[in-house]
């Protein structure tokens, strides 16, 4: 219940920041348009753009609530409800964004495996939310957090996809599933991508929860 209220009000807060919202929504579009002539590249860039937009949005949502969250804990909310609610809001927004861009790509490019393309984008959005939360937990200041996410996305974009560095990056799953969706490869790409995405989600969500559980912990004061 508390998590749902936190999620609904976080979504409402973001919805009121019209300019920021337009920029977040349009960010993946520029990635897509730059490589529109190549189906595979445009889809992969679009997916990375979705990941960058959703993770940055989560970073700012979590950082903006730093003054409120300790008071919510004092009022009785659990850390899971407070942080989970915020991640739920940005995940839902990210998946909606992914659905809209999937529709655009399906109409514009004519996808051979549309379900796999949808999975690629939705999984990337789902991973991006806790990634933004984890960066916000580790780097409490917005500038540092935004620069860290920029570095992650740049390395993801430039690294050799077959190399170790790319596999250690959080959005490698999107690239693998994208290969399955566009290049008509075998299902091993799909499973590898899914496994990487699930593992990354678990690490990021678990890390975010652990750091905030420690930071928002309240001591057990005995009754006088």
Closest CB 59 distance from other proteins, rounded Å: 16
Q: What span, in angstroms and rounded, lies between the C-alpha atoms of 90 and 133?
A: 10
Q: Which is nearer to other proteins, 81 or 121 (CB)?
A: 81
**107 forms part of the interface with other proteins (CB under 8 A):** no
Cβ distance 47 to 171 under 8 Å? yes
**5 forms part of the interface with other proteins (CB under 8 A):** yes
Closest CB 137 distance from other proteins, rounded Å: 17
According to DSSP, residue 223 is labeled P
Q: Could you give the 3-state DSSP secondary structure of residue 112? A: coil
Size of the site for other proteins (CB under 8 A): 29
**224 forms part of the interface with other proteins (CB under 8 A):** yes
Q: Which residue has the tokens 């008071």?
A: 71
Closest CB 191 distance from other proteins, rounded Å: 40
Closest CB 18 distance from other proteins, rounded Å: 11
Count, in order, helices (H) and strands (E) of the chain: 10, 0
137 Cβ neighbours under 8 A, 6+ residues apart: 62, 207, 208, 211, 212, 215
Rule CB under 8 A: choose which of 110, 163, 186, 222 binds other proteins.
222
**17 forms part of the interface with other proteins (CB under 8 A):** yes
Closest Cα partner for 181 from 118, 134, 129, 123? Answer: 118
Q: What span, in angstroms and rounded, lies between the C-alpha atoms of 210 and 16?
A: 30
Please list every residue from 48 through 77 that binds other proteins, using CB under 8 A: 64-65, 67-68, 70-77
Q: Which is nearer to other proteins, 81 or 177 (CB)?
A: 81
Rule CB under 8 A: choose which of 1, 158, 162, 164 binds other proteins.
1
**18 forms part of the interface with other proteins (CB under 8 A):** no
Rule CB under 8 A: choose which of 13, 99, 159, 198 binds other proteins.
13
Q: What span, in angstroms and rounded, lies between the C-alpha atoms of 211 and 31?
A: 32
Q: Which is nearer to other proteins, 2 or 41 (CB)?
A: 2
Q: What span, in angstroms and rounded, lies between the C-alpha atoms of 152 and 139?
A: 14
Q: Which is nearer to other proteins, 163 or 222 (CB)?
A: 222
Helical residues (DSSP H) of the chain, grouped into ranges: 2-16, 18-34, 39-64, 69-75, 79-109, 114-138, 142-158, 164-168, 172-183, 187-215
**218 forms part of the interface with other proteins (CB under 8 A):** yes
Binding site for other proteins (CB under 8 A): 1-2, 5-6, 9, 12-13, 16-17, 64-65, 67-68, 70-77, 81-82, 218-219, 221-224
């Amino acid at each position: 219940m508390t998590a749902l209220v936190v999620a609904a009000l976080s979504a409402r807060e973001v919805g009121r920041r019209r300019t920021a919202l337009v920029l977040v929504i349009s960010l993946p579009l520029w990635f897509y348009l730059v490589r529109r002539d190549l189906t595979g590249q445009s889809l992969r860039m679009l997916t990375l753009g979705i990941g960058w937009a959703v993770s940055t949005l989560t970073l700012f949502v979590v950082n903006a609530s730093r003054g409120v969250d300790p008071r919510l804990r004092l009022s009785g909310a659990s850390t899971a409800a407070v942080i989970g609610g915020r991640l739920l809001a940005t995940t839902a927004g990210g998946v909606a964004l992914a659905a809209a861009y999937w529709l655009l790509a399906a109409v514009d490019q004519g996808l051979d495996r549309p379900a796999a393309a949808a999975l690629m984008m939705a999984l990337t959005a789902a991973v991006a939310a806790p990634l933004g939360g984890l960066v916000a937990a580790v780097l409490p200041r917005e500038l540092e957090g935004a620069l860290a996410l920029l570095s992650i996305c740049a390395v993801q974009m430039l690294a050799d996809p077959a190399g170790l560095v790319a596999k250690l990056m959080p959005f490698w799953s999107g690239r693998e599933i994208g290969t399955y969706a566009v290049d008509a490869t075998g299902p091993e790409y799909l499973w590898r991508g899914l496994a990487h995405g699930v593992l990354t989600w678990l690490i990021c969500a678990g890390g975010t929860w652990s750091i905030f559980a420690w930071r928002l912990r309240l001591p057990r004061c005995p009754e006088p």
